[in-house]
């Protein structure tokens, strides 16, 4: 049921719309990095040779922090929330779970899904296919058990990706700060001069890097907790827990998956593409092991 249903046209349209919304959010995030990261670094380098611009550099740093907090971050959050709810529509249909309006709100309008999926179709060839979202092997299991394996695989993938990304982000920020600090040692005469010339311009970059690292690690920690819960639910399934109870527990788990998607920061597509093949192979292997375990139990 799951392998066939996930590749229906309406489901692929939903995945396409979700990807388009995330892509738009990542574009906003890209501008955020440019304005908060690259421009301040350039300012810091320029100030080293032209100290008269230190006031302008400091002003830019403060201005971008405000723009970041009140505009860019809010815009990203709205796009991320909408993408997560479209993904929730897909999951509820494919995994045969009821829609929880209390947690997810109203379902996204079909016109919006059509609009966003059409936009995605224009550049979809550059991305990995959206078919076979979940491993085909779950089709060998009853839906109330197969969906648990799907939920766990989704959680595992997400946590693994975010931890690696968080380490890369903080490493880049630390490297930039150290380089600029070393270069500035010979040009700053006082602590006040150093703060105005170096710290103020780089403040948006430092703030963005720390926030990204913290949010990615927090998301990974939440996902680890959800993975543990999904594995306990899997044990309950193998021990013969009733279909109705397993469905209710899966719905509760799905609520937390949705909440995590809404809260989690973005990961750029080039990172996803780089990690995809390795992690996808590991994920499919993990699902196949779970399916084999279920079959051994006579399920």
**What is the arithmetic mean of pLDDT over 137-154?**
95
Does 138 reside within a domain?
Answer: no
Q: Which residues contact 28 (CB under 8 A, 6 or more apart)?
A: 72, 75, 76, 79
Q: Using the 8-state DSSP alphabet, how is residue 138 labeled?
A: G
Number of structural domains the chain divides into: 1
| Per-residue CA distances from 160 to 120, 155, 223 (Å) | 26, 9, 9
User: In the predicted model, what is the mean pLDDT of residues 157-182?
Assistant: 85
Question: Does residue 127 belong to any structural domain of this protein?
Answer: no
What is the pLDDT, as a whole number, of residue 33? 80
Q: How far apart are CA 65 and CA 72, in angstroms?
A: 10
pLDDT digits (tens, 9 = 90+) for 212-256: 899 999 999 999 999 999 999 999 999 999 999 999 999 999 999
Highest mean pLDDT among 5-14, 23-32, 66-75: 5-14
Residue 135 falls within a domain, yes or no? no
Is the residue at 134 inside a domain?
Answer: no
241: left (phi over 0), alpha (psi -120 to 50) or beta: beta
- The structure's pTM equals 0.83
Structural domain of residue 262, as residue ranges?
Answer: 2-122+143-296
Alpha carbon distances (Å) from 212 to 86, 99, 163, 215, 235: 24, 31, 11, 5, 35
Instruction: Yes or no: say if 165 and 271 are a contact pair by the CB < 8 Å rule.
Output: yes
Model pLDDT, residue 195: 63
Band of pLDDT at residue 68, cut at 50, 70 and 90: confident
In a domain, 158, yes or no: yes
State how far the Cα of 66 lies from the Cα of 241, in Å rounded to an integer.
52
The verdict on residue 279 lying in a domain is yes
Determine, yes or no, domain membership for 33: yes
Q: Which of 22, 3, 20 is nearest to 262 (CA)?
A: 22
C-alpha angle 59-63-66 in degrees, rounded to nearest 5: 150
Which pLDDT score, from 0 to 100, does residue 269 have? 79
- Do the domain assignments include residue 129? no
């Amino acid at each position: 049921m799951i392998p066939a249903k996930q590749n229906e046209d309406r489901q692929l349209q939903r995945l396409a719309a979700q990807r388009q919304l995330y892509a738009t959010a990542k574009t906003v995030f890209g501008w955020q990095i440019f304005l908060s990261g690259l421009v301040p670094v350039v300012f810091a380098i320029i100030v080293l040779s032209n100290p008269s611009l230190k006031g302008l550099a400091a002003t830019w740093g403060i201005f971008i922090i405000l723009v970041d907090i009140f505009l860019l971050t809010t815009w990203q959050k709205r796009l991320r929330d909408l993408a997560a709810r479209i993904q929730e529509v897909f999951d509820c249909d494919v995994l045969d779970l009821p829609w929880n309006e209390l947690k997810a709100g109203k379902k996204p309008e079909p016109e919006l899904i059509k609009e966003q999926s059409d936009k995605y179709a224009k550049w979809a060839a550059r991305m990995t296919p959206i078919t076979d979202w979940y491993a085909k092997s779950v089709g060998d299991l009853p839906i109330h058990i197969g969906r648990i394996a799907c939920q766990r695989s989704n959680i595992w993938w997400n946590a693994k990706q975010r931890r690696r990304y968080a380490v890369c982000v903080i490493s880049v920020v630390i490297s930039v700060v150290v380089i600029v600090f070393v270069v500035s040692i010979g040009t700053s005469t006082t602590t006040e001069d150093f703060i105005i010339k170096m710290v103020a311009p780089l403040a948006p970059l430092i703030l963005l890097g720390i926030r990204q690292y913290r949010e990615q690690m927090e998301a990974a920690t939440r996902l680890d907790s959800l993975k543990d819960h999904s594995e306990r639910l899997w044990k309950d399934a193998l021990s013969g827990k009733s279909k109705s109870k397993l469905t209710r527990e899966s719905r509760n788990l799905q609520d937390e998956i949705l909440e995590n998607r809404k809260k989690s920061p973005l990961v750029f597509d080039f990172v996803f593409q780089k990690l995809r093949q390795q992690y996808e192979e590991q994920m499919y292997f993990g699902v196949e092991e779970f399916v084999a375990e279920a079959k051994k139990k006579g399920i």
